[in-house]
Amino acid sequence: MSISAEVAGNLTSAGVNGQHAPLAQTVLRPAVDIFEDAEGVTLYADIPGVSKERLNVHVDGKTLLLEGTVQPANGSQADGNGTRYRRSFALSRELDPERIEAKVKDGVLTLRVPKRAENRPRKIEIQ
Amino acid sequence: MFGTLRGFEVSLFDEFRRLQREVDDVFGRDVHHSFTRGAFPAIDVVSNPQQVDVYLTAPGIDAKALDISIQQNVLSVTGRREAQVEDKASLHRQERFSGEFRRVITLPEDVDPSHVSASYVDGVVRISVQRREAAKPRQIEIH
């Protein structure tokens, strides 16, 4: 498996922060689907209310971090105000973090992480 | 002195935890289940004297296929979210909801079912229902 177990401590630290942070700031772990094929890994994450401008995808070494802030509802003090999404993943060595593609549509983030060229299967043509 | 105080806080906290456990026990696993699976989409309701806004966080749905209906003050939303299917790929993790959903929300009695509008932005459905004139607070001036 290529995008594996969340970085240890992510959940714990969120929990600890949750106790001390003001109630207005809620940090949620987005639900994800992860698929792997021969060429790479595709990750889908639910981040409703987060626009492209308020979403950050960071890669630091082997850690992939998703962070997004919910757009506050105009003029109202909706519950959604201050809600943030955050989740991190450990990338395995066979993935190429330099070539990650990300797009957001209707509150779903799609991330494509290709495998390094040497880890992709090559088809040998028979002459 | 501080030791006593801290001891008190810890025991109070423990007491809350015990209560929480008891509540969990009473409702059993079904509650947990309904929060994680059945509660799609999550709902926020925000109201002011002019209108009631219902927000459903439903990312990645076909909003045009949503069935939103209101009868008097009962709003119901029915829809489905297709499962993500990838050919020639193996699934490592599947946490996102898929399938059909239906949520029914009782709104304040003074809403006007003939003045409803809905939008879908960044995976959030917003349904705004106007409230009737009579229900709005009126300023009475003394002459």
pLDDT tens profile A62-95? 899 999 998 776 544 444 457 899 999 999 899 9
SS3 helix, strand, coil % of chain A, rounded to 5? 15, 40, 45
What's the pLDDT tens digit per position in A36-61?
999 999 999 999 999 999 999 999 88
- A–B interface: beta-carbon pairs under 8 A: 95
Torsion of CA A35, A36, A40, A42, to 10 degrees: 0
- Minimal C-alpha gap between A73 and chain B (Å): 9
The DSSP result for A61-72, as a single string, is TTEEEEEEEPPP
β-partners of residue A66 are A57, A87
Residues 6+ apart with CB under 8 A from B88: A37, A38
Task: Give the tokens for residue B33.
Answer: 């289940």
State the burial class of residue A72 (Cβ atoms within 10 Å of its Cβ: 0-12, 13-18, 19+).
middle
- Minimal C-alpha gap between A35 and chain B (Å): 5
Return per-residue pLDDT of chain B as tens, 143 residues. 444 444 444 455 555 555 555 554 444 333 333 334 447 899 989 988 899 999 999 999 999 999 999 999 999 999 999 988 888 889 888 999 999 999 999 999 999 999 999 999 999 999 999 998 765 677 888 88
Residues 6+ apart with CB under 8 A from A119: A94
Residues in A touching B57 (Cβ below 8 Å): 48-49, 80, 107
Position B13 scores a pLDDT of 53
Residues in B touching A123 (Cβ below 8 Å): none
A14 pLDDT above the threshold of 50: no
Residues in A touching B90 (Cβ below 8 Å): 35-37
Residues 6+ apart with CB under 8 A from A67: A55, A56, A57, A58, A84, A85, A86
Q: Which of residues 77-96 of A touch B (CB under 8 A)?
A: 77-80
Q: In which order are the strands placed within the sheet that holds B67-71? A: B67-71, B74-81, B99-106
Position A96 scores a pLDDT of 92
The pair phi, psi for residue B31, each rounded to 5°, is: -60, -50
Tell me which chain A residue has its CA closest to the CA of residue B56: A48
Q: Does B43 touch chain A (CB under 8 A)?
A: no
pTM of the predicted model as reported, rounded to 2 decimal places: 0.71
The band of A120, judged by pLDDT with boundaries at 50, 70 and 90, is: confident
Cα(B16)–Cα(B55) distance, rounded to whole angstroms? 31
Task: Give the tokens for residue A66.
Answer: 């998703």
ipTM: 0.72
- Minimal C-alpha gap between A101 and chain B (Å): 17
Tell me which chain A residue has its CA closest to the CA of residue B59: A107
Cα(A127)–Cα(A35) distance, rounded to whole angstroms? 34
- Minimal C-alpha gap between B142 and chain A (Å): 31
Tell me which chain A residue has its CA closest to the CA of residue B121: A106
